[in-house]
Amino acid sequence: MVPKRVAVGVAAVAVAIALAGCGQVRNPVPPLAATTGPGAAHRPPPANKSATWRTVRRVLAEAPVLPGAHLAARPPVALLRKPMESIQSPNFLKATRWWTAPGTVSAALSYLRAHPPTGLHSSGGETLTWPDAAAKGVTFDGRQTGVYSQLSLVMAVARDGDGVAVRADAEALWLPGRSPAEHIAADVKSVAVTVRRPGSAPTVHRVVTGRHATALADVVNQLPVFPPGTYNCPMDRGFVDSLVFRVPGPDIAMQADITGCSTVSVTVDGRRQPELSDADRVDAAVLKALHLPSSYSR
């Protein structure tokens, strides 16, 4: 599970991106200590932010261009002044271009879908409507890395006289660096695990050791940070995996919220750490380590 993009405009109908959540979840954790406080504006940007910017610009440079298209310095039509989607996060990066081209909207969409940028795949489309006009779009999504998430290229096409106008937005969320306190040492002694599935399955309490404890630690150590911002999330059913890692030094307690925004909260020595993403990965490892049946999945 990843943060959701939000369609913008007077009215938007999502075709392939589910945005119907149960309210919003806000993660207020700052991106990195080095980017806040006095003098932050004079410090170099975090490495992940710089790397994400390079990727966003590369994706925009590889955006498919319609035959006979010409670059435009500004939105050719009013409908394309705003992006079709956005993410409410200070870690959201976006680069934009516009074109005009001959042809029809349907032909343009067919051409765009057939020419995805390197490493991205078509994931559906949207329709953005205003009182007297409409734009149709196609979205290409990329995989998440430890540097960024929500990498995508969103292309909107609208009628422009006898031809079409195109807007391309390459975008991504850059991920903050993880706190060293969240790292699970290789010599983890044991993990106390509690699996709660209210109204669905009995609660399970187990303590795992040896290779199962190490496997859980390996999964947790690979989780990216959940970027700050406000997101629309699916319904939270209260499915939770709680893990307490017994390691040399203070215990590391984690709660993986399997539903909702799929976040993992971390507490070390009574101090809350930045939230992590991908609780689903933690849950898969927990069910495997505890040999729990599929009824404990969603």
pLDDT tens digits, one per residue of 58-81: 999 999 999 999 999 999 999 899
Asked whether the predicted pLDDT for residue 117 surpasses 80, the reply is: yes
- DSSP letter for 182, please: G
Asked whether the predicted pLDDT for residue 114 surpasses 80, the reply is: yes
- In the predicted model, what is the mean pLDDT of the chain? 82
Tell me the average pLDDT across 223-245: 85
Confidence class of residue 34 from pLDDT cuts 50, 70 and 90?
Answer: very low
Bridge pairing between strands 92-102 and 163-174: antiparallel
Bridge pairing between strands 6-7 and 85-86: antiparallel
**Torsion angle in degrees (nearest 10) through CA of 229, 234, 237, 240:** -50
Tell me the average pLDDT across 158-166: 95
Would you tell me how many other CB atoms lie within 10 Å of the CB of residue 294?
Answer: 7
Question: In this prediction, what percent of the chain has a pLDDT beyond 70?
Answer: 81
Strand partners, 173: 92, 149
If we measure between CA atoms, which residue out of 89, 136, 137 comes closest to residue 261?
89
Helix segments in the chain, DSSP class H: 47-61, 105-113, 210-221, 279-290
Whole-angstrom Cα distance, residue 80 to residue 89?
Answer: 22
Confidence class of residue 87 from pLDDT cuts 50, 70 and 90?
Answer: confident
Least confident span in 31-45, 93-107, 178-192, 197-211: 31-45
- Tell me what pLDDT residue 219 has: 95
Q: Residue written as tokens 């975008």?
A: 171
Coil/strand/helix, residue 114: coil
User: Domain locations in the chain?
Assistant: 6-174, 180-296
Could you report the per-residue pLDDT of 248-279, keeping only the tens digit for each?
A: 989 999 999 998 888 999 999 989 998 998 89
CA distance to 16, 50, 120, 148, 223, per residue, from 143 (Å):
17, 18, 8, 9, 14
- Tell me what pLDDT residue 126 has: 61
- Tell me what pLDDT residue 149 has: 86
Asked whether the predicted pLDDT for residue 22 surpasses 90, the reply is: no
CATH 3.30.1490 fits 180-296, yes or no: yes
Whole-angstrom Cα distance, residue 230 to residue 185?
Answer: 32
CA distance to 184, 208, 266, per residue, from 181 (Å):
8, 22, 9
- DSSP letter for 175, please: P
If we measure between CA atoms, which residue out of 85, 83, 91 comes closest to residue 51?
91
If we measure between CA atoms, which residue out of 85, 98, 236 comes closest to residue 150?
85
Tell me the average pLDDT across 164-183: 91
Tell me the average pLDDT across 125-143: 73
Contact 25, 233 (CB under 8 A): yes
- Tell me what pLDDT residue 36 has: 31
- Tell me what pLDDT residue 125 has: 63
Coil/strand/helix, residue 279: helix
What are 25's two structure tokens?
Answer: 């979840």
